[in-house]
Amino acid sequence: MLRLSKKLLFAIEAVLDIAYNGGTAPVQSGEITKRQGIPRRYLEQVLQHLVRAGVLIGVRGPRGGYRLARERRRITVGEIVRVVRSLEQGDDPMEEEAGAELGRRVVRPLWLELEDAAMKHLDATTVEELCTRAHKAGVAGEYAARYDYTI
């Protein structure tokens, strides 16, 4: 079921921070923690899963950190959502067989339609678009100094 958990919010913010503030050097997790206020315990776990999923690249060493694995325009919010959803555990009421007939035949299908529409929108929203929104909103960052012209 689609819900905005802290972990999901932090993951989107972290990827956006890397895209928005990352230059040629990798962005260190400590920088993300300072800028976004994301607790380190959430951040490291999520970043590692995003690396394994091919959204980010982890760079080792004293100047290491994280970079996007692809251009900003090729990473969608939906992709990030799916990575985090695979981490989150808990009972999904949509998968339970029990429940009233109205719930199973009317409410659950409605919720699945809404979730499907939301995921389509998130799949159509790129990290590049979020960077543009941040720039237009006046958020300070490295984005204004450079654009992604990769073809």
Topology, domain 6-92+126-145:
Arc Repressor Mutant, subunit A (1.10.10)
| Residue-wise pLDDT tens digits, 58-105 | 999 988 999 999 999 999 999 999 999 988 866 565 566 667 889 888
**90 vs 12, higher pLDDT:** 12
Residue-wise DSSP of 18-52:
HHHH--SSPBPHHHHHHHH---HHHHHHHHHHHHH
Q: What whole-number percentage of the chain has pLDDT above 90?
A: 67
- The pLDDT value recorded for residue 145 is 53
How do the domains of the chain map onto residue ranges? 6-92+126-145
Q: Which two tokens stand for residue 45?
A: 């776990």
Instruction: Indicate if the pLDDT at residue 148 is higher than 60.
Output: no
